[in-house]
Structure 1
Amino acid sequence: MIRRFAPYSQRLAWILVLPGLIFAAAAHAGTAPGSFQDIEKQRALFMTVYETAERGDWSAVEQLSLDEQRLLQRYVLWPDLRAAFWRASLDKAQTGELEAFLSEYGTLRPARELRYRRALHLARSGDLRGFQRIYEQFYQGQDIARLDCLSLHAELDAGHTARVDFRAKELWLVGHSQVEECDPVFEYLDEHNLLGPTDYSKRFALAVAAREFQLARWLAKKIDQRHIAEASLWIKAQSHPEDFLLGYAGLAGNETASEQLAYAAERLTYRDPERALTAWKTVSRHVRFSEEQRHRIARHIALWTARDNLPGAYELLRQLPVAAVNTDVWHWRARTSLRNAAWQTLLTDIASMPAAEQAKEEWQYWRAVALQRAGQLLAADAAFETLAKERSFYGFLAADELGEDYALAHAELPADEAAIAELQSRPAIIRSRELFLVGLDSRGRSEWDTVLRSLSPEEKRQAAILADRWGWHSRAISTAASLGEYDDLEIRYPLPYKDHFERSSSDASIAPTWAYGIARSESLFMRDVRSRAGAIGLMQLMPATGREVARQIQLPYSGVQTLTHPESNIRLGTSYLGRMAERYDGNAVLATAAYNAGPHRVDRWLPESGSIDARVWIENIPFNETRKYVKRVLAAKTIFHWRMTGELRRLSDTLLQVSAPLDTEQLAAR
């Protein structure tokens, strides 16, 4: 029997008592106002003045009444407000006032950040002695290159050259360009002839190993013509790998040349595995390569031939020497057999994996499918039965094979109200919570995660419940997951911004459960999060994509401000997802992959003709991240459907065949 969840409105009652709980916690922390309503007033005042303070303007605070100013000064985030103001106005800060603040709040993150900014400000404004005092007390020995170089500059300024030479050379002798603060120190080394050819040769080797070839070329000019020529060859191998490989005959037969050729082969493989294989066969007959190089390049070419679904992939993978085989090879042998529907070979491929790999859900599932296709039905059903107990992509597919219900049983984490009350009385918990409530989410997450490291497992369980009650879903989900607590589905699959998701999804003609699956997988519902690639917000949109979609749906667009606004991000994300669904004729598998990797890549991954089982297509997605992402989103979509309706929707029913793109005549006939 599938249990329906209580609507969010019924869970809101707990949150209505929050001000009183926060007041009690603040009182315990020694920051309590006169009544429990004051914390909401403090929060509102903080949000009113923070933005102007962050710009170095304190006038908004000064315009508050004296009572409001006193109330704000008792707020747990008062240090954050003062630090934000001073970070933007260090040139006007009174030294005594600033040092008193740092002395009182020095262990808090805003004070630590302010101290770092102040140290940089002193150095850049020429007060090297003032900088040095701070450096020696707080930063010496922490290996922060920027500060270390500024300290050495201060030593030089004071005439203490004997202290500089060794550490300066350590900072210089790295395989990458150092921060600009190191330039004066490195100039000192150069001007005083403290860097010789041996030093430059060592750094040249480090730069080459790090594939920092432009730096290597600059260093080579300080050595000799041989190194200049070597750097030029590395750059050619990087930028024109095929030409470099075809010109192998002009290279000296030494270790450096063989590594340059191997590197060029790797670069060409990314672009065109077939051309790389042809060139490598020729070069490897005439150039002496080490066994490690031969294995590395053969494996690289074989793997990318398989990822690109090119002819001969399985044979290349099979022919690899035992010493060249790694986890990727085991996986792509199996994936290639799967794509070729070579079921007996697939069984052999899986059996050849180490036991730990065989035990993973994906290979347990495909082993069961292969057994089924090979006519070993009892063994297949037994394997499906075991896997169907899992609440996962493969667990759901296994249950579909057997026609069984999904493993969706919800088990609520037991709440210990006394423990929760004690937790939320801790100053660090109060601070992280208030940072979240005022919109300084990333700072709140950082402080929350720091607190977690000091908690016992049981305290972490209660902290997960507490974060969920606050609506801080990213911390609730991640905290529960860190304990292996996966069965409280209200915590793990919450429904924030429900009205917005439903309305925006309806406008985009997609299921809200799908949009929820995307948002949870992309951001864990963090409204301000940014990826390394530059995607922003709940549904992780790139700024250029956000701008284009905003133009299409006539939504006012202000860049980051729009993308970090939850409702706007949901509108843009669902609209873009809807466009991907339309592009791929409602195929959720392809649209989900395109949302992650881009439609231009998905188009390249489509079969050239006919169609392929969506499960097989997913397993053969070349990018590990996108493959995992599609599985994660589709499993989450299934769970969110159950969460929102109490009904089970078969995952298999949503996996449409993946077909070759329509040709021009077919498109015209539509």
Structure 2
Amino acid sequence: MLICLGFGHAAADPASLEGERKAFAEAWESARKGQHDAFRQAMPGLRRYLLYPYLQYEDFRHRRAQVPVETLSQFLDDHRDWAFTPALETAWLRSLGEQGRWDEVLQYGPKSSDVAVRCHVARARIKRGDTHDLAPVARQLWAAGSSQPDACDPVFAWLRDTGGITDGLAWERVALAMGARERNLARYAARFLDAEQRPWAERWRRQDLGDYRSLNQAVHWEAGERARQIIDFGLRRLARNDPDRAWELFQLLDDSQDWSEDTRGGLLAELALWSAVNRSPATPERLEAVPKAFRQDRLLEWQARYQVFEGDWTGASRTIAELSSTLQDDSRWLYWMARAALETGQVDEGNRQMAELASRATFYGFLAADVLDLPYTICPEPPRVPMEAIDGFRQHAAVQRALELRAVGLSNWARSEWRRAAQGVDDDTLRAAAAVAVEEGWPDAAISALGNSGDTRWYDWRFPLDYIELVRARSAQAGVDPSWVMGLMRSESALAADAISHAGARGLMQVTPHTATQLARRHKLTYQGRSQLLDPAANIMFGTTYMAEMLARFQGHPVLATGAYNAGPRAVDRWIADGYTGDPVVWIDTLPYFETRDYIPRVMAFATIYAWRLGQPVPRVSSRMPPIGLPQADPPGTAEVVCRAES
């Protein structure tokens, strides 16, 4: 066995490899800019280079309509395990359909799951007169909650002309569209309803426009399946924002509806859940009305949160005991069960539970240690991976492609190839993947692999110190704790400098271009555009500046500042506007946003581990969590870190 730090491996001739990489990067950039002549001139000299098929992919992607089908089909077959193949194949099949090459569409397209390609295949069958059993396929394509690609229009016209759009199918699409809040699509689908059914679709659309606050009008509707469906959907939607009005309407309409047991039970559970989320005073009676069969974990968790918020510790203890065994063993609910014991005078039992929980290196484990003034338990285990396993993983073709793609700056493709190599493998292979990632300076890949392998005690690799000097320098300038910055960065991006979220947040600290623009204006920082946010130094500068802003805005309260970094300061303003004062852990665990509810504890736990990793005094988690809306009491100070039974 080997502790995998600093090992090496043989490499190709460095000068030759660097030359190939430079030529590849130039060719790729030419293709990106549309300079196809320069691109094609560069290709022949790179035929022996590992990533040459990526250049072929880029060439075929641009010329897919002109490339002979046999050539492109063979290329795809030869590269089935390459990351670019699915996207290229879909684009090619779409182009065949757009050109009306129906024989080729039927030859190569039937196995595709892409909606546009499926519609091209269906149209090809219509063109060739092969419509046996086509109607079910066309109906499935039509019944969608969003607009389908233009390629589907001829298929839908055929379905309409052959009488395939029945009243039931039209209503199915109305319901799907309303569920997706696509009102215009619902209005379109309603045109295919029988005349006597169209008013139901219009009622639904009008109710949706008014957020279902006028569902009392349903007392005048004819009872039946359509009415029940609209009322059920509307009450569930309304309950999210106004559970009291939703409950009032439910009571008004309940007796007039012939609900099924499942529909009524599910609706009662949903109304009770959102009552708890919104802390309605009537929550207990609504929870009591939910049939036992519908008291599932999601509802029980919110019942326990409501009881904790209200100080009903006996009730909270009973509710937590109803949770599934998996959730009962979760650190969060172990903490609240122990708190309930202490709050109800069961001091010995509560202390015993807290002491047991304090052996876990989690947010709630650290809190339990704070309750008993115990040391923190962090038991590191040196990463050990056999060299043959490391070499074996490194020899995987997709891994070699991933590492080379990363070397030439194509990080998205590199991740795609890496995921292919690490997908569905056993724990030993995941550990080998982590070892390779560490050697290659790819921290987020190592973190992901160890998260899947379950090696939570490999702290050196799970909490790497990449970028620490930048963090220390910028933290000092911004006046924030570097361990807090590292914990937040670890939570935001897993230290992926090139990370880009679906919302457009970028880089190590997931700064949005809008936030960077505002920070640059307020603090006279240099902002040169979104690409700058992928530079670690610039990203950390903006991220730490924003952390300092949030800390100042919320009077030095790290919990509120962390929540604001995740959800925005206005969201935190709303959450503290109800005047709650007191225990910050209660406040965190009853937040309505699940992402922020999990984000704050994660950042606080990671900050604690990073304080230990950095060799600085480890602040107790409680010291970062002053009461909400009350003066700061004397902070609990720092914690000794030891290794006990579990971590």
Structure 1 residues 141 and 569: alpha-carbon distance in aligned structure 2, compared to 1, 3 A threshold: same
Contact 2:393/2:433, CA 8 A, preserved across alignment: yes
* Secondary structure of 1:226's aligned partner: coil
Q: Which deviations, in whole Å up to 9, do the C-alpha atoms of 1:379-420 show, x marking residues without a partner? A: 122111211111111111112222222222221121322332
| TM-score, with structure 2 as normaliser | 0.88
Partner of 1:41: 19
CA 1:54–1:134: 2 relative to 1, 3 Å: farther
Secondary structure in 2 matching 1:609? coil
Alignment of 1:90-239 (within 5 A): 90=64, 101-102=75-76, 104-105=78-79, 107-124=81-98, 126=99, 128-129=101-102, 132-133=103-104, 136-137=107-108, 139-157=109-127, 167-174=137-144, 176-190=146-160, 193-196=161-164, 199-209=166-176, 211=179, 213-239=183-209
Distance of aligned partners of 1:167 and 1:326 in 2 relative to their CA distance in 1, 3 Å threshold: closer
CA deviation after TM superposition for structure 1 residue 61, in Å: 5.1
Is residue 585 from structure 1 mapped to residue 552 from structure 2 by the alignment?
Answer: no
8 A Cα contact 2:97 2:117, kept in partner: no
Cα distance in 1 for partners of 2:402, 2:411 equals 9
The alpha-carbon distance between structure 1 residues 563 and 465, as it changes in their structure 2 partners (threshold 3 A), is: same
The amino acid that maps onto 1:348 is R
Question: Hey, what's the Cα distance between the residues in 1 that align with 2:244 and 2:263?
Answer: 19
Aligned residue pairs, count? 626
* Partner Cα distance (1:330, 1:165) in 2: 44
1:339-388 deviation digits (Å, cap 9, x = unpaired) = 22233333333334444433322121112122223332221221112111
Structure 1 residue 319 displacement after superposition: 4.4
Q: Structure 2 vs 1, CA of residues 121 and 549 (structure 1 numbering), >3 Å: closer, same or farther?
A: farther
RMSD over aligned CA atoms reads: 3.1
CA distance in 2, matches of 1:381, 1:82: 65
Moved more, 55-64 or 617-626: 55-64
Residues 278/164 of structure 1: CA separation in 2 closer, same or farther (3 Å cut): closer
Distance 2:391 2:82 in 1: 23
Cα separation, partners in 2 of 1:166 and 1:245, compared to 1, 3 Å: closer
Pair 1:541–1:374, CA change in 2 (3 A): same
Note if contact 2:470-2:537 (Cα within 8 Å) is conserved in structure 1: yes
Give yes or no for the alignment of 1:280 onto 2:247. no
- Change in Cα spacing, 1:437 to 1:402, as seen in structure 2 (3 Å) is farther
Task: Give distance in 2, aligned partners of 1:586 and 1:280.
Answer: 44
Contact 1:510 1:578 survives alignment (8 Å): yes
> Residue 568 of structure 1 corresponds to which residue in structure 2?
538
- 1:85-484 matched pairs, under 5 angstroms: 85-90=59-64, 101-102=75-76, 104-105=78-79, 107-124=81-98, 126=99, 128-129=101-102, 132-133=103-104, 136-137=107-108, 139-157=109-127, 167-174=137-144, 176-190=146-160, 193-196=161-164, 199-209=166-176, 211=179, 213-284=183-254, 287-453=257-423, 455-484=425-454
For 1:645, which of 610, 615, 622 is the aligned residue? 615
Q: Provide the C-alpha distance between the structure 2 equivalents of 1:398 and 1:423, rounded to a whole number of angstroms.
A: 40
Structure 1: how far apart are the matches of 2:602 and 2:104? 51
Q: Quick one: which of 10, 15, 24 aligns to 1:21?
A: 10
For 1:26, the equivalent position in structure 2 comes to: none
Alignment equivalent of 1:630, drawn from 596, 600, 619: 600
2-structure distance, mates of 1:117, 1:343? 59
Runs (5+) with no aligned partner, structure 1: 1-5, 24-34, 662-670
CA drift of 1:95 comes to 7.4
Structure 2: where are the runs of 5+ without partners? Answer: 632-647
Please show how residues 488-503 of structure 1 align to structure 2 within 5 Å: 488-503=458-473
Q: Percent of pairs identical after alignment?
A: 30
The whole-number CA distance in structure 1 between the counterparts of 2:70 and 2:520 is 49
Would you say the 8 A contact 2:83–2:420 is kept in 1? no
**What is the identity, as a one-letter code, of the residue corresponding to 2:311?**
A
One-letter amino acid of the structure 2 residue matched with residue 208 of structure 1: A
Task: Return the letter of the residue paired with 2:84.
Answer: P
Q: Secondary structure at the match of 2:465?
A: coil
Distance 2:455 2:494 in 1: 16
CA distance in 2, matches of 1:104, 1:350: 55
Counterpart amino acid of 1:417? M
Structure 2 residue 53 is the aligned partner of structure 1 residue 79: yes
Instruction: Quote the offset at 1:657 in angstroms.
Output: 1.0
Which amino acid in structure 1 is aligned with residue 162 of structure 2?
Answer: L
- Mapped to 2, the partners of 1:444 and 1:336 lie a distance apart of 45
Shift of 1:227: 2.2
Q: Secondary structure at the match of 1:591?
A: helix
2:589 and 2:491 map into 1 onto residues whose CA distance is 18
1:208-263 Cα distance to aligned partner (Å, 9 max, x none) = 15625543432222232222211111112222144432212321122321332232
Q: Compared with structure 1, are the counterparts of its residues 516 and 49 closer, same or farther at alpha carbon in structure 2 (3 Å cutoff)?
A: farther
Deviates more, 1:383-392 or 1:265-274: 265-274
1:536 is paired with a residue whose SS is: coil
CA distance in 1, matches of 2:266, 2:28: 55
1:445-481, Cα deviation, whole Å (9 max, x unpaired): 2222221246443232122111112111121111112
Offset, 1:22: 3.8
CA distance in structure 1 between the partners assigned to 2:368 and 2:573 by the alignment: 29
CA distance in 2, matches of 1:417, 1:146: 47
Please, which moves more after superposition, 290-299 or 444-453?
A: 290-299
How far apart are residue 158 of structure 1 and its match? 5.1
How far apart are residue 74 of structure 1 and its match? 2.5
Alignment-mate amino acid for residue 268 of structure 2? A
* CA displacement at 1:177 relative to structure 2: 3.2
The one-letter amino acid paired with 2:168 is S
Distance 1:354 1:171 in 2: 39
Quick one: distance in 1 between partners of 2:328 and 2:80? 52
Superposition deviation, residue 179 in structure 1: 1.9
Alpha-carbon distance in 2 for matches of 1:283, 1:457: 54
Q: SS of the counterpart of 2:196?
A: helix
C-alpha distance in 1 between matches for 2:343 and 2:434: 44
Tell me, yes or no, if the aligned pair for 2:331 and 2:357 is still in contact at 8 Å.
yes
Distance 1:615 1:660, change over 3 A: same
Cα deviation for residue 630 of structure 1 reads 1.1
169-178 or 159-168, which deviates more: 159-168
TM-aligned CA distance change 1:239 to 1:414, over 3 Å: same
CA distance in 2, matches of 1:416, 1:182: 54
